[in-house]
Each structure stands twice: as structure tokens, then as C-alpha cells.
């Protein structure tokens, strides 16, 4: 016999109950993940699996649309889909609770399978998290469905029919149960996330005292600024530095138990504690990092003072074997990046960084250690939360983004950007300051030119720089005439190569073209 559909009012409450029950399941799952060693959030595990599965074009589109908010949007999408699934489970449960229980179990299996992609997770912990979430979801749904279908007090001797029972159900009892369920979900999720941070990483980071470097990097004085209001500062504060990575949950690494392994094609595989690493000797270097997903004129770029151990010193301790042509960095969450071994020995300031702008690395930017390699896009070099450096060959291993369609090599391209005036701005006729930044890490910026409409290119005034691995501010004085105008900028590096006008998207190896803004002169 086929179970009949619930009356419409009961059906709506059943669907809402399913959404709330799913929230309870996810909240309890977060709590269990925080309580269990090697537990992983089911929401973040599924989100990470989505990141791993989507084509690079989708990832690039997400960054283009949402920028550094792409992870929040992804998590929101997972929650929306989970809620829709939960509404369906509520409707199933109104017919037969067992069907909904099977659906919750399937939901838990998805979480377990997604968690297996995280090297920090254990199968037992993932199963425990899933079991707690499924049980909580089923119990919550059962209570909500009972409240939704509760009979009202009969009046007189009249017996209400099914539709009347559903429409006259005790709304207050159902709403109270639903609100209680949402409270359980919120409190469980909050406590779970707090417990997940129980390692006290922030406290340990704040207490960390780093040795002084062997020689200080120069401080940025007035010479590195063009003095135009609105132009990007030479130094990017840590809290403003862009963050693009695949980690939905920022790894919280205990510096006391952290180890850096150097493995693969080396004579002496080694393992260093944090203290042993910094005892090798620290240096400082100003380096501008750029994301390969940065559009022409984009802001996925920042300049900071990095302090760390030169990569070549670490590699020399292990003894790199002849024929080891690739350095692969591995993060604690399993992410990888790879670049030619030559980049550690060609004179650039490649380092295992432990500090950023004078303080230990922020947790979001790789604490306790990460790789910084000037002149290479981050997707091939900037391994955060570093735990292993493997020496191999370029042919033997493809790092995370390479099988997903991105280029094997990622040298940073010469680029420039107009910061002021903004595109779409209205300015007064007469003298107008046009200013921005240009970069060509590893080569340096020699010239910047500005063009108005289709007129001649005019040279801009350049600020000083601390080295060739940082961006350079520039400014140009424009005698603006009324009307709508297009401003373009291009840079030339120290080798005499001018950035191309050919327009190309970020994939597979970085965007190209001239940044252009439209300005109305009143």
C-alpha cells in the first residue's frame, strides 16, 4: 500500500522540519568534529571535495565574481543545497520516518567519503562525526514531525477531518520545537568551531619570539611613494593581504609538534622542528606576491616583508641529487605546488618564510611556515602551512593545479594597473593625477606609460623601489579636457620587454592586456 501525501499545511511544516533537522545534524556534526581527534567538519569536507572536483574554469569564474569571498559563497551554497535536501527528507519523513532516516544515513556517507580526501582526518573520526550527525538529524526530525501533526483540542462532539487536523495543528508547539532545533544547531556549530581551534594556535603564535635576521632589509621611505592620494600603498598590511587557496578551514598547526620534512631525491632526508629550522639562519626580503587568477587591473596582489630561511640552505642540508629538477611543497592539508629546482639556486630570494611584515606568519597566510618564491605565481610556488619539501623531477609529478588545466610553469608576467582615477569616475577639467602600480617580479619595472584615447604614449613618473621583486608606484599628470576618455597603462621591464596588448584570461598561466579605465571629465 502506497503512503498518501500529507495534507498541504502538514506538508509545509514537514518540509520546514526537515530543513531544521538538517541544521541540527550539521551543527552536531561540527560539535563532534571539534570533540574527536582528527575530526573534520562535514560541511567543509564536502566543500573541499567540490573545490577538488570543479573544472579550473569554474574556479576562475568564482574568483572573478566573488574574489576572496569565494569560499564563503561555496559554503553558503553547500548549506543551501543541504537545506533543500533536508526539506525533501522532511516530506519523506511525514509519510514514513524510516525513509527519512535512510536519507540522513546517505547524507552521512557523503560526509565520510568527502572527509577521506583530507590527510588530517581519520576514517574512524569521520564515521563518528557522521553517526552523531545522522542520529541528531533523525531525532530532531521525529520531534518536529510529531509537533507538526499534533491534534488540537476537540470542540464538542465534532470529529475534525484530516485536512482540518493539519491546518489546526498546534503552531505554537511546532514553532517552539523548530526554534529549539535551530538553537541547538547554532550552539553546537559554534562550540564545534571553537573546539576545532582548541590547539591555541593564536596564543602560541602571539608568544612566539623569532630570532633576528642576519641583516635587516631596508625600510620603505618616502622615495617609494609618488605622493598621490588613492594609490595602492607600497606595503600591504597583513590583514589586507589577499588570500586565495583551497583551504575552506584554515589549518591550525601546533608549532611545538610541527615538523618540516625534506624527502625525495636527496642524499640525506631530514626532518626539522621549528626551532631547528630558524636556527639555520633567517633573512629578510621584500617580495610582491601575485595570484595567477588576478585579472588585468585586479587586486589579487600584495607586497610584504618576508622573513625566513633561504630555501637553498634547507636543500643543501639534505643534499639535492643530480637530476632533481622539481621542488614540490606539500601543505598539511595535502595541497601541493611545484617549481623548477633552479629557482632555489638562481639568486632569487626563495625562502621558507616564518614571518610577514615583522610578525610571525598569520594563521591565514601559512603559520608556522610557508614557501615564498619571487617571480612565480602562487599556484606553482606559494605552499602555505608547509610540512614537506620533496625533490623530484618535472616529469614525475604534477602538483595540484596542473592536472586541472593550469600551466606547469608560472612565471609572473609584467603588469600595470591604474588606481586613480577609478573607472567610471567624474573628474574636473584641468590637471588630473593618474597613478597606480606596476610589477615585473624578478626583472623590475623600468618604464610606465599612459595613453589617453588613441593618443601618444606619455612616460609616467616612477617612485623608487627596494628591489626588483616588488611592485612600483607610478604617477602621471594629465591635462584633462571635457568629455569621456579612455586611459590605458603599460609597463616595460628592466630587460626592455613591454607588456603585451593581447588580451588573455588568467587561465592557464596568467592574464595579459593593458588596464583601461573610462573617465568622464566635467
Query: Which domains does the chain possess?
Result: 8-152+161-198 (no CATH), 222-392 (3.90.420.10), 415-521 (2.60.40.650)
Is the separation of the CB atoms in 230 and 435 below 8 Å?
yes
User: pTM of this prediction?
Assistant: 0.74
Looking at residue 351, its pLDDT comes to 98
The Cα-based distances of 380 to 318, 401, 510 in angstroms read 22, 8, 12
Of 303, 287, 313, 304, residue with least CA distance to 359: 304
Q: Report the phi/psi class of residue 67: left, alpha or beta, with left for phi > 0 and alpha for psi in -120 to 50.
A: left
Beta-bridged to residue 340, according to DSSP, are: 326
Looking at residue 296, its pLDDT comes to 97
Tell me the three cell numbers of residue 445. 619595472
Looking at residue 168, its pLDDT comes to 46
Q: What is the pLDDT along the chain (522 residues), one digit of tens a residue?
A: 445 555 555 778 888 988 998 888 888 888 887 777 666 777 666 666 666 666 666 666 666 676 666 667 777 877 888 888 888 888 888 888 898 899 888 888 887 777 766 666 667 877 888 888 889 888 988 888 888 776 444 444 444 443 444 444 467 778 888 888 889 888 888 887 776 655 457 778 888 999 999 978 999 999 999 999 999 999 999 999 999 888 777 888 889 999 999 999 999 999 999 999 999 999 999 999 999 999 999 999 999 999 999 999 999 999 999 999 999 999 999 999 999 999 999 999 999 999 999 999 999 999 999 999 999 999 999 999 999 999 999 999 999 999 999 999 999 999 999 999 999 999 999 999 999 999 999 999 999 999 999 999 999 999 999 999 999 999 999 999 999 999 999 999 999 999 999 999 999 999 999 999 999 999
CA–CA separation, 522 and 516 (whole Å): 19
CA–CA separation, 271 and 105 (whole Å): 42
CA–CA separation, 80 and 155 (whole Å): 41
Sequence-distant (6+) residues with CB within 8 A of 370 are: 352, 353, 361, 382, 383, 384, 385, 386
CA–CA separation, 86 and 98 (whole Å): 14
CA–CA separation, 302 and 242 (whole Å): 7
Nearest 5°: the CA angle 184, 187, 191 is 135
The pairing of strands 386-392 and 426-427 is unpaired
Which residue matches cell numbers 616612477?
462
Amino acid at each position: 500500500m502506497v503512503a498518501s501525501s500529507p495534507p498541504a499545511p502538514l506538508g509545509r511544516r514537514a518540509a520546514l522540519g526537515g530543513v531544521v533537522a538538517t541544521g541540527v545534524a550539521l551543527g552536531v556534526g561540527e560539535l563532534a568534529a571539534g570533540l574527536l581527534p582528527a575530526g573534520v567538519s562535514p560541511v567543509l569536507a564536502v566543500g573541499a571535495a567540490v573545490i577538488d572536483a570543479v573544472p579550473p574554469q569554474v574556479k576562475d569564474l568564482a574568483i572573478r565574481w566573488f574574489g576572496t569571498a569565494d569560499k564563503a559563497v561555496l559554503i553558503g551554497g553547500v548549506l543551501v543545497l543541504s537545506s533543500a535536501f533536508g526539506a525533501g527528507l522532511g516530506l519523506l519523513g511525514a509519510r514514513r520516518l524510516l525513509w527519512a532516516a535512510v536519507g540522513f544515513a546517505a547524507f552521512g556517507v557523503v560526509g565520510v567519503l568527502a572527509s577521506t580526501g583530507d590527510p588530517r582526518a581519520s576514517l574512524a573520526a569521520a564515521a563518528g562525526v557522521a553517526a552523531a550527525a545522522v542520529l541528531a538529524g533523525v531525532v530532531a526530525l521525529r520531534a518536529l514531525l510529531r509537533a507538526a501533526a499534533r491534534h488540537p483540542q476537540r470542540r464538542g462532539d465534532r470529529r475534525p477531518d484530516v485536512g482540518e487536523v493539519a491546518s489546526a495543528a498546534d503552531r505554537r508547539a511546532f514553532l517552539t520545537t523548530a526554534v529549539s532545533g535551530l538553537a541547538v544547531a547554532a550552539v553546537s556549530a559554534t562550540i564545534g568551531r571553537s573546539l576545532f581551534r582548541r590547539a591555541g594556535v593564536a596564543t602560541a603564535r602571539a608568544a612566539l619570539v623569532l630570532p633576528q635576521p642576519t641583516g635587516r632589509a631596508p625600510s620603505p621611505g618616502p622615495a617609494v611613494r609618488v605622493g598621490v592620494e588613492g594609490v595602492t600603498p607600497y606595503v600591504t598590511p597583513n590583514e589586507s593581504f589577499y588570500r586565495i587557496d583551497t583551504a575552506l578551514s584554515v589549518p591550525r598547526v601546533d608549532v611545538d609538534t610541527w615538523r618540516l620534512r625534506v624527502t625525495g631525491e636527496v642524499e640525506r632526508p631530514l626532518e626539522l622542528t621549528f626551532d631547528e629550522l630558524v636556527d639555520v639562519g633567517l633573512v629578510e626580503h621584500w617580495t610582491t606576491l601575485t595570484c595567477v587568477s588576478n585579472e588585468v587591473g585586479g587586486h589579487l596582489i600584495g607586497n610584504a616583508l618576508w622573513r625566513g630561511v633561504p630555501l637553498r640552505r634547507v636543500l643543501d642540508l639534505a643534499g639535492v641529487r643530480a637530476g632533481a629538477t622539481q621542488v614540490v611543497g606539500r601543505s598539511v592539508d595535502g595541497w601541493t605546488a611545484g617549481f623548477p629546482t633552479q629557482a632555489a639556486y638562481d639568486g632569487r630570494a626563495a625562502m621558507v618564510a616564518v614571518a610577514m611584515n615583522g610578525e610571525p606568519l598569520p594563521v591565514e597566510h601559512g603559520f608556522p611556515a610557508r614557501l615564498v618564491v619571487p617571480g612565480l605565481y602562487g599556484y606553482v610556488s606559494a605552499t602555505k602551512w608547509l610540512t614537506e619539501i620533496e625533490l623530484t623531477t618535472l616529469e614525475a609529478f604534477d602538483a595540484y593545479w596542473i592536472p586541472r588545466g593550469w600551466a606547469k610553469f608560472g612565471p609572473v608576467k609584467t603588469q600595470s594597473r591604474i588606481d586613480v582615477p577609478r573607472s567610471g569616475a567624474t573628474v574636473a577639467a584641468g590637471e588630473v593625477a593618474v597613478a597606480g602600480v606596476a610589477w615585473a617580479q624578478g626583472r623590475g619595472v623600468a618604464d610606465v606609460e599612459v595613453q589617453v584615447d588613441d593618443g601618444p604614449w606619455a612616460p609616467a613618473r616612477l617612485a623608487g623601489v627596494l628591489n626588483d621583486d616588488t611592485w612600483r608606484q607610478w604617477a602621471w599628470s594629465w591635462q584633462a579636457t571635457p568629455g569621456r576618455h579612455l586611459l590605458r597603462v603599460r609597463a616595460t621591464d628592466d630587460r626592455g620587454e613591454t607588456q603585451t596588448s593581447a588580451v588573455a584570461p588568467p587561465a592557464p598561466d596568467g592574464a595579459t592586456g593593458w588596464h583601461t579605465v573610462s573617465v568622464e571629465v566635467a
